[in-house]
Amino acid sequence: MKLVLAAAEGEAHFGLLDEVRDELGLKIVRARTPDDVLTEVVNAEILYGRPSAEIVTAGRALRWIQAHSAGVEFVADIPELVESDIVLTNTRGAHGPSIGEHVFALLLGLTRRIPTCLEWQRQRHWGRLEGYGTSREIRGSALGVLGFGAVGRAVAQRALAFELGVLAVDAHPTDGRPFVKEVWPPSRLPDLLEQVDVMVVAAPLTPETHHLLDAEMLRRMKPDAYLIVVSRGGIVDEAALAMALHAGRLAGAGVDVAEDEPLPPDSPLWDAPNLIITPHLAGDSAAKERRCVEILRDNLRRYARGDSLHNVVDKRLGY
């Protein structure tokens, strides 16, 4: 049984796989370049990393692909994978803690006006905020979550610690307890947007969610509400978001992902007011890197036993 490690995610912890290599008689090969991957995948049964049509075609022995990410929107562009018998799993759950913390880093940065203070620090200026006494407390606010998977739950868990009420929308019926009493269907997203003070986008990018938060949806939000986007770019219409911020129809936004990455120099987001941009690093942490490898290690044992794998992706749905 041969495993090709084709991703750098968790590389510092690949030593955790040594015990399963010996235990299962597993051959592990590290492929660092696209050409190496295509060469090594020919007789490999398992791939860890992001596949392509070329990899799927070359991997005639492939039976299982463990994606190194939670988002697998790439599958929509690989019909060879969708139509195949290859099982696709992801690292759902590994990123929840770090992304959950990043949501509140962005939110508190906005409500406590941290960007302004950092600019003053660079200028060696000790100032007073205009309208002193108007910084926001988030305690008692309502927070909405679009997508109540592992990341959405991590956000909701931390929201309760800040004494926020939580509402959620998800494409599938799910039990939100103990963090949310009820998870609403997508048809109630407009209702949720009208009620919340903070909206967190934690849904996967699919044809159904692409530009789901467009100008019309954003107009439903309170003018003093905040929008935090941490799952995938493309769910929020970026031009509409920039216009809403310029028009003062939102209090602010925090964006960690973009529809096109790197964010293009001519993106309207760069100059939008009350916006914090981070370059897709919400999921970054040393602990997350280890969790990705632990998921792979656990699934390797399950695969060898013939058990069902964790985090199996519905390739047609894209999550």
Active site residues per annotation:
232, 261, 280
In terms of DSSP bridges, do strands 165-169 and 226-229 run parallel, antiparallel, or are they unpaired? Answer: unpaired
3-state SS of the chain? CEEEECCCCCHHHHHHHHHHHHHHCCEEEECCCHHHHHHHHHHCCEEECCCCHHHHHHCCCCCEEECCCCCCHHHHHCHHHHCCCCEEECCCCCCHHHHHHHHHHHHHHHHCCHHHHHHHHHCCCCCCCCCCCCCCCCCCCEEEEECCCHHHHHHHHHHHHCCCEEEEECCCCCCCCCCCCCEECHHHHHHHHHHCCEEEECCCCCCCCCCCECHHHHHCCCCCCEEEECCCCCCECHHHHHHHHHCCCCCEEEECCCCCCCCCCCCCCCCCCCEEECCCCCCCCHHHHHHHHHHHHHHHHHHHHCCCCCCECCCCCCC
2 beta partners: 27
Give me 206's structure tokens. Answer: 């699919």
